[in-house]
Amino acid sequence: MEAQGWRERKKEMEESRDLGEGDDGGGEEEKEEEEEEEEEEEEEEEEKEEEEEEEEKEEEVGKMKRFFF
């Protein structure tokens, strides 16, 4: 859920950047740093989601084992 919100926010930021809104002419290096930070945050969010999904699967398997045994 959080990752989806982040993606939407990122999309909005990119759109506003394309339109020239909020761009203070910070330079190419600053933009690259921001993009790297965004990618890292996105990867962290995806990892959290994957971990949560794994935990849910493990819980389901545990429930199934208890049901059958």
Averaged pLDDT, 44-58: 95
The whole model's pTM is what?
Answer: 0.46
Domain boundaries, the chain: 2-18+26-68
Most confident of the ranges 10-14, 28-32, 51-55:
51-55
pLDDT at 60 over 60: yes
CA distances to 2, 13, 16, 48, 63 from 10, in Å:
12, 5, 10, 18, 38
DSSP 8-state code for residue 53:
H
pLDDT at 13: 81
Residue 12, both tokens: 């909005």
pLDDT at 65 over 90: no
